[in-house]
Amino acid sequence: MARASTALPEPGRAATGGALEGLLVADFSRVLAGPFATQQLADLGATVVKVESPAGDETRSWAPPERDGVSTYYLGINRNKYDVVLDFRDEDDRAAALELASRADVVIENFKPGGLAKFGLDHDSVAAVNPGIVYASISGFGSAGGASLPGYDLIVQAMSGLMSLTGDPDGPAYRSGVSVFDVMTGMQATIGILAALDHRSRTGEGQHVEVNLLSTALAAMANHSSTYVAGGSVPFRMGNAHPSLFPYEPLPASDGEIIVVAANDGQFRRLAEALGLPELAEDERFARTEDRNRNRGELRPLLVEALAAHTIGEWFDLLTEAGIACGPINTIDGGVALAERLGLEPVVSVGDGDRAVPMIRNPIRFSRTPARYDSPPPALGEHDTLIRGWLARPIAQEGPHA
């Protein structure tokens, strides 16, 4: 349970009743996985204090692109947070950091494993003064044999095997267009933290939660990882094709490519009828999922010939009407526009006046405790005076605005 005497109000305003209201998070992380996790917690009502070195989070300088001189990379993952600069090489700042951790419900960090021990801010040191702490550590390759390896998403995409699956069969391996394992590891950290908090609410016990990019990658590759560990086969690059389903890929219409999916026999029957080729669903070469998969070389040209009769937009309407999953290949602006047309309200304005920043809405919807969008990503050290003053006061006192 959160300790009300230690809880901070939200930056510049009263607490807003989110699902995690009253939880205090000391965020010693930087770059992507950690800040992504703490933004999730902040959106859901937790009070997050982002601790930065005097140099600041590296992503502040990862530009272009930028908005009003601030990296859009940094802006995308740091809303709803306090910000304080603490130099762990300085004795007083180390003491302030430990005091923050001693008052917190959650600490999250992504230093190299063991990297905070020299500052007395590792799990064991923090747990000694705050036994109920949920302490989350994020690394690239875990705290055993991979502890010394730097954990960049691109490196893990390569070493995990993901890049061997991405690209044309006869072409070079490609990285994902998104730092997919950083984001997924941030999600795993959030899940681990929430599970540990639930355990603490029932037992009073804190614990150390560890996640790493490589383990996340192997789990996230799901059916491909299972192909190897359970089936004994090593998956390989297939371009946009799916190893177990067809059609499940881009196919050419008269003016470009459209994604077409028929994931079971009923869907394929409807697709064949919509294409004016109902006989395909009765053809023994294509009647079942496994038949279509094995005979895709014969089926694909038949589908391509039929799809040439209409444009992407026309097929989208026709196939959607027939209950077939399909869609154009959009750029990001098209994806945002689609979400707007569907009423998902994907963009929210965070902050007020000149400091307001348009950001992507938290994807989780709650019927009682909605996500909040109180404050824009903070400037470096924006809340130094506030946080340092609060940490200097006895713990029995209320938050910094008291």
Token duo for residue 127: 């747990």
Residue tagged 């950690």 (tokens): 34
Distance from C-alpha of 213 to C-alpha of 355, rounded to nearest angstrom: 34
**Amino acid (one-letter) located at 390:** W
Q: Which token pair is 35?
A: 């800040």
Which of the following is catalytic: 43, 93, 182, 374? 182
- Tell me whether residue 283 is one of the annotated catalytic residues: no
Work out the burial of residue 38: count CB atoms within 10 Å of its CB; fewer than 13 is exposed, 13-18 middle, 19 or more buried. buried
Catalytic residue set: 182
